[in-house]
Amino acid sequence: MATSFKTLLSGDIKQHGTKLHEAIPLTGTILSGTYGAFGAETNVKNYSHGMFQSVYDYPYLSSSANHILDITVGVAADSGLSGSANYVQTTQKNDIYNEMAQMLCGYDATGSIHQFDVSGAFGSNVATDKMKDVVFVNFARLLTKDEIQKETGGGFTLVLNAATTFATPSTTQVTLQDTNATNALENSPAGQFNVLYASSPSVSATACGLVFYQAGIAVISSSVFQTTIAGGNSEMNVGTDTMPQLLVSGAISSSADALRHRFHNVGFNNTTELNSTIYMCRAGASEFNYSSNPTYLSSSQIRVKNVSTDNPVSYITTVGLYGANNELLAVGKLSEPLKKTPADEFVLRVRLDY
């Protein structure tokens, strides 16, 4: 009796996990300069609600455009900026801060939202560690995949142009890095995170932000553009506003524009967790040596044989994985035909990724 199916035994099916990493280098010119004049880039989308700004890798009206990140800012209700005159979008900036904080920092025992803390200890009461005026960079899932990779010495590197002058921002640069990445902190409800340390001509390894690996979010203190880290107060717009001034008098989109202008590059490796099932399809010596291909026969005679004592030959190009009712559920292809005779045995390891 001819058979065309072979049952997979329990030992033929193995589960396997793999972490796949891709390098994501993102240059500042994508955020500002490539697709139009500053402030009028066609790859930057502002919304009527004004809560955040989206950046694409191509003019966003094109179907080829991919969403790469969002930028927004948040100011805590008890920030020193909150009582300022001419405060623009006060409510929205507070709401953004609280939303991000409750997602990334969690709550205390009373249900109050923790504030961002540059030490990573959200429950800490050290007032000087609290980051109350921050910029958020939310990377799209397209870039971060399952998570940003944690690497020895720092896998996430963000370089900001921090010179004082608006027109020539790149003469001084601040590098933010998760230098202690392998010892990621675990006390966030959004998964693992770490402290971003800034280094510049003025400072070395000064905590100034947080990076959340699974959430794909960088939280940057507005202090990176101020004297303590940058060595001077950076002019964030043509009006020479400093970062605190802009957070008060500017809309969220203005602050996002300012960050894009100061964005030199960012680099990290993303991580995709592949769960694979490997099916060991074993073609024994006496199996799969004949074919039902219509060209296999000429007047019922097997073409690859002259006499009955010749070995049968077949050529494998495809492996099909079937359900119990013979329904084809998955297909694997070989790169070239594989010759099969009674003298050959093969194990075709077919991997199905989820």
Partner 1 sequence: MAFLDNSGDIILDAVLTDAGRKRLSAGDGSFKISKFALGDDEIDYSLYTPITSSGYEDLRILQLPVFEAFTNNTTVLKNKLLTYQDDSLLYLPVIKLNNMAQLGATTATGTGAPLGGYYLSVDSSTTAQTSGSNNGGIQPGYRHIDETTARTARSRSRLVFDQGLDSADLVLKYLANTNRNLLETQYIIEVDNRLLSLASSADGSLATPTFIDDDSVASYYFSLNSNPSFFASQPGGADRPGTIQEVAYQIVNDGDPTSPGKVIGPTGATGRLGSRLVFSLRSSADIQANTSLFTQLGSTATITDDAAVTRIFSTIDTVVRVTGFTTGYRMDVPVKLLKYVSTP
- Here's the x/- map for partner 1, 11-50, by CB under 8 A: it reads as --x-------------------------------------
- 98 burial class (0-12, 13-18, 19+ CB within 10 angstroms)? middle
C-beta atoms surrounding 153 within 10 Å: 11
8 Å CB contact between 104 and 267: no
- Here's the x/- map for partner 1, 321-350, by CB under 8 A: it reads as xxxxxxxxxxxxxxxxxxxx-x-xxxxxxx
Helices 90-104 + 252-261 axis angle, to 10: 70
Instruction: Using the rule CB under 8 A, give the single segment among 128-136, 156-164, 263-271, 288-296 that binds partner 1.
Output: 288-296
Minimum CB distance to partner 1 smaller for 110 or for 299 = 299
Judged by CB under 8 A, the number of residues near partner 1 is 79
| Distance separating alpha carbons of residues 87 and 333, to the nearest angstrom | 62
Minimum CB distance to partner 1 smaller for 8 or for 190 = 8
How far, rounded to the nearest angstrom, does the alpha carbon of residue 38 sit from its chain's CA centroid? 26
Q: Which of 26, 219, 259, 281 binds partner 1 (CB under 8 A)?
A: 281
Minimum CB distance to partner 1 smaller for 31 or for 283 = 283
| Distance separating alpha carbons of residues 257 and 32, to the nearest angstrom | 9
Minimum CB distance to partner 1 smaller for 125 or for 292 = 292
C-beta atoms surrounding 242 within 10 Å: 19
Q: Which helix (H) or strand (E) holds 31?
A: helix 28-31
Minimum CB distance to partner 1 smaller for 1 or for 23 = 1
**Whole-number minimum distance, CB 236 to partner 1, in Å?**
48
**Whole-number minimum distance, CB 341 to partner 1, in Å?**
9
| Distance separating alpha carbons of residues 23 and 271, to the nearest angstrom | 9
**Whole-number minimum distance, CB 19 to partner 1, in Å?**
17
What residues are paired with 148 via a beta bridge?
270
Minimum CB distance to partner 1 smaller for 151 or for 287 = 287
Minimum CB distance to partner 1 smaller for 168 or for 317 = 317
Minimum CB distance to partner 1 smaller for 36 or for 339 = 339
| Distance separating alpha carbons of residues 28 and 314, to the nearest angstrom | 56
Strands of 98-155, DSSP E: 133-139, 147-148
Instruction: Using the rule CB under 8 A, give the single segment among 106-114, 116-124, 195-203, 281-289 that binds partner 1.
Output: 281-289
**Whole-number minimum distance, CB 64 to partner 1, in Å?**
23
**Whole-number minimum distance, CB 14 to partner 1, in Å?**
12
Find the radius of gyration of the CA atoms of the chain: 29
**Whole-number minimum distance, CB 289 to partner 1, in Å?**
7
Considering only residues 293-322, where is the footprint of partner 1 by CB under 8 A? 293-322
Asked if residue 4 binds partner 1 (CB under 8 A), the reply is yes
**Whole-number minimum distance, CB 123 to partner 1, in Å?**
40
**Whole-number minimum distance, CB 1 to partner 1, in Å?**
5
| Distance separating alpha carbons of residues 6 and 318, to the nearest angstrom | 14
Q: Which helix (H) or strand (E) holds 242?
A: none
What residues are paired with 64 via a beta bridge?
none
Considering only residues 97-116, where is the footprint of partner 1 by CB under 8 A? none
Minimum CB distance to partner 1 smaller for 81 or for 352 = 352
Minimum CB distance to partner 1 smaller for 167 or for 329 = 329
Question: In sequence order, what DSSP letters do the residues of 59-112 get, joined into one string?
Answer: -TTSTT--EEEEEEEEE-TTSTTTT-TT-SSHHHHHHHHHHHHHHHT-B-TTSP
**Whole-number minimum distance, CB 214 to partner 1, in Å?**
25
C-beta atoms surrounding 22 within 10 Å: 13
